[in-house]
Amino acid sequence: MSTETSELTTQTPDSGSSKNRERAEWLQENRVRVTVLAVLIFVFVVALLGLDRDDWFSTIMQGLSVGALTFLVVSGLSLIFGLMDVFNLAHGEFFMLGAYLGWTAYTRADTLIDVAIPMLLLGAPFALMPLWRRIAAMVTLAGRARKTSAIGAIVVGALTAFFTITRFPLVIWDAENFAMTPTNMTVQIDLGTLAPLPAESFSGPAIVAILGVLLGGALIAFGFSVLRKPGMESGAIDMKRLATFGGLIVAALVLHLIKEPVNEWIFGLSTTWRFFLSMGVSVVLVAALGALVEVVLIRPLYDRPIYQLMITLGIGFILIELVREVWGRPEFTMARPAAFAGTGEGCPGQGLGGFFSGCSTVEVFGGRLRVYNEGFVVLVGIVVLVGVMLLLKRTRLGMVIRAGVEHPEMVEALGINVRRVFTMVFALGSGLAALGGVLAAPSIGLSSGMGAVFLLGSIVALAVGGLTSFPGAAVGALVVGLLQQIIIRYGQVGIPIPFVEEPFKPSPTVVPAASIVVMVIILLVLPTGLLGRSEK
């Protein structure tokens, strides 16, 4: 017993000194990073202390709101770049598309259902990719002739699908008719008078339209199979693929038959539940688009990063023009859900508990905050941060992702399909951007340029926090959000300057410039960002 006690007493000082030594070594290695973080915190504290008590808390919360939206965009960029070394310049447009799709699911769910029917049919032939690969293997053409025939099949398939999809019934808004514009429909939601549009019918025989879309999808799938390198055709048409093919067709037909009661059920929901539904629909659709972009356009260009930048930049421009063509060029807003739009007696809410009062605003520490912007959006940002961190740290997929960042060859040697993981990560990042878009729509409105604005802030946040660090993405987004709101607040109250009568009021144009200046200063001191890892 005495021997054990003596051993413990001799080990305890050693373990304590070892921990102190490790702590000292960590501080020595990260002294520059700790110093920069301390300076940033000091600057923010001094700036906030210069505001009145009524302003400082609201400024912090507004900065958190902007930071949360920025984080939802930059988190996807961080995941995609960290694992795949792909810098997606269309990420901002995924954010924008998420906002427009969210508005559509929230305001015009009947239009989305009408579009979903031919899209399900168009996607059905892609479930039979092994069949098209086997047929493509029989094509004896080579070189340019093979590529030409493949592109020809894709073009013919796209034209066939387009002309037959136009025969499907589609109820949609009309930018030329004020009563049918997106702006007026948003007003109808606020008034509680929005209803499904009158149902349309097929233009011509329904069977022709259905078979035409299936044929178009088959030609497109076959064309992409021909473009694949020889020797890549593998796999067989198992029952799972046949079930998927048949299931998509059956789902489209059933949805067509029951779309009227489904529309009535959706429009009978409260705006709050409809908003949550629109969040899910937007995330799923943009995540699916991201997966498609990765498989079809990004995957063949992994060894050509310049071409990746060019193709994602082109995708961004295409999405902008698509949005302008479908939703129109004018900006419009998205009505806030009823849970965040309460007015009248008992409003605004008082104190932190007022965030749960159902009022649109709440008074906290003398400042008035918007429950949706500074409450719900911030909460969603925190939930996403915690959720993705748990995904990366506590799940098998997260383990594969982290291992893929460090040793992709070893992960593939273990039999893990790294390409499928890449697709899932690209889809996850795209879905997070869409979530940010649909959350931003009720607070900042919808415009075709909203993606570019948030992409710039996200790039700054990514560089500040560290290109491959997910926690760094959160820290960078927080820095950008607080910095922007502090400058905006001082633009309203002014900065007193000695010997000058009028206080200096920074203009709104200073906001993006200030973020870039801070980014440059941090990168000059810390080339890998606040939490980024240096490459060895």
Mean local confidence (pLDDT), 76-99: 88
Burial class of 491 by CB neighbour count within 10 A (0 to 12, 13 to 18, 19+): middle
> Taking all residues of the chain, what is their mean pLDDT, rounded to a whole number?
83
In a domain, 20, yes or no: no
In a domain, 531, yes or no: no
Number of structural domains the chain divides into: 1
* DSSP 8-class letter at 230: T
In the predicted structure, residue 6 carries a pLDDT above the cut 50: no
Q: For the chain, state the CA radius of gyration.
A: 27
In the predicted structure, residue 500 carries a pLDDT above the cut 70: no
In the predicted structure, residue 395 carries a pLDDT above the cut 50: yes
The fraction of the chain above a pLDDT of 70, given in percent, is 89
For tokens 């000091």, what's the residue? Answer: 42
User: What is the per-residue pLDDT for 15?
Assistant: 58
Pick the closest to residue 428 from 458, 401, 457, 465 (CA basis): 401
Sign of the alpha-carbon dihedral angle for 505, 507, 508, 510:
negative
284: three-class secondary structure by DSSP: helix
* DSSP 8-class letter at 364: E
Q: How confident is the model at residue 106 (pLDDT cuts 50, 70, 90)?
A: very high
The residues facing 64 across adjacent strands are none
In a domain, 2, yes or no: no
- Amino acid in position 25: E
Convert the pLDDT of each residue in 267-320 to its tens digit. Answer: 888 889 999 999 999 999 999 999 988 888 888 787 788 888 899 999 999 999
Beta carbons within 8 Å of 45's beta carbon, 6+ residues apart: none
Say how far apart CA 492 and CA 252 lie, in whole Å: 54
Q: How confident is the model at residue 170 (pLDDT cuts 50, 70, 90)?
A: confident
Convert the pLDDT of each residue in 420-454 to its tens digit. Answer: 888 888 999 999 999 999 999 998 889 998 998 88
Which of these ranges, 12-16, 86-90, 408-412, 478-482, has the smallest mean pLDDT?
12-16
Look at phi and psi of residue 88 and say left if phi exceeds 0, alpha if psi is from -120 to 50, else beta: beta
Say how far apart CA 28 and CA 382 lie, in whole Å: 31
Residues making up the chain, counted from first to last: 536
Q: Which pair of structure tokens corresponds to residue 368? A: 């008035």
Which of these ranges, 9-13, 23-27, 403-407, 530-534, has the smallest mean pLDDT?
9-13
In a domain, 315, yes or no: yes
User: What domain range is 161 assigned to?
Assistant: 49-525
In a domain, 12, yes or no: no
Sign of the alpha-carbon dihedral angle for 418, 424, 430, 435:
negative
Mean local confidence (pLDDT), 365-378: 85
* DSSP 8-class letter at 181: S
Beta carbons within 8 Å of 511's beta carbon, 6+ residues apart: 484, 487, 488
User: What is the per-residue pLDDT for 1?
Assistant: 46
Say how far apart CA 530 and CA 32 lie, in whole Å: 9
In a domain, 29, yes or no: no
In a domain, 10, yes or no: no
In a domain, 16, yes or no: no
